[in-house]
Amino acid sequence: MHASFSENLEKLERDLRYPFRKRDLLTEALTHRSYHHENPDRVPSYNERLEFIGDSVLGLVVVEYLFNFRSKFTESEMSEIKSYIVKGSLLSEVAAGISLGRYLRLGKGEDETGGRAKKSLLGNAMEAVFGAVYLDAGYDTARKTILGLFEERILEAIRSGQYHSYKTELQEESQMRFGVLPEYRIISQEGEEHLKTFSVEVFIAGKSFGKGTGRNKKEAQTSAAKEAMEKMKRLAS
């Protein structure tokens, strides 16, 4: 067993804000198939079944939260936001935020090739942990645990509009109307390295259609594309 897994799991439970009644469920959620394959007699199960359950529970929690949100989202909007929130890259960020990788039980080869930092592996394990919480304590507790880790990210996605691919929408509209692709130009970068704010302006056929700001280039481009789409809709009306 990897030495890091021998650390007291109470730290992880504190980060999850949930103490397991059946610690075996948490252990299974942290067990990768590579560890099981190297120890089949001692370790009879691994986390893929829990991952399957956790994926469903996570999706339901996010959709329920959006359904009851103060803004009444359409079915299409809820689908877009849910897809953005439950995607693997965001799951791996949440997992990294609670140092989930250090607790994983990995086979020797997987461990030596950087498995503890692999985004797909972290995202899958995070879903497995949610599945374990659900089986250990039921939906209400799983919902509380998930929102404790995800609520701020959901609100940020709603605030920034990043869940919607305004850049793709603008690209399609620009090609249809003008036969060219949008061009994004960085206007300015302000602030210290870890607290930078980017300003971006988007041009179509040499004409400015929108400006946006964000904490990174992608967010700023999304904001600019959103403004450009709103301008196009006004011009078409």
Domain ranges across the chain: 3-160, 166-236
Distance in angstroms (rounded) separating the CA atoms of residues 47 and 129: 9
What is the pLDDT, as a whole number, of residue 76?
A: 84
What is the pLDDT, as a whole number, of residue 6?
A: 43
Closest CA to 187 of 218, 219, 220: 220
Catalytic residues: 55, 127
What is the pLDDT, as a whole number, of residue 1?
A: 44
Residue 194 tokens, joined: 């870890």
Distance in angstroms (rounded) separating the CA atoms of residues 134 and 61: 11
Count of Cβ atoms closer than 10 Å to residue 72 Cβ: 10
CB of 87 within 8 A of CB of 161? no
For domain 166-236, which CATH number applies: 3.30.1490.20, 1.20.120.160, 3.30.160.20, 3.40.50.300? 3.30.160.20
CB of 133 within 8 A of CB of 145? yes
What is the pLDDT, as a whole number, of residue 159?
A: 83
What is the torsion angle, in degrees rounded to the nearest 10, for the CA atoms of residue 29, residue 35, residue 36 and residue 40?
-150
Helix axes 75-86, 48-67, angle to 10 degrees: 140
**Mean pLDDT, 10 residues at a time, over the chain (237 residues)?**
58 94 95 93 93 97 94 87 85 93 93 91 96 98 97 87 80 91 94 86 95 90 91 81
Q: Given the structure tokens 């929690």, which residue do they identify?
A: 61
Class of domain 3-160: mainly alpha
CB of 209 within 8 A of CB of 221? no
What is the pLDDT, as a whole number, of residue 2?
A: 46
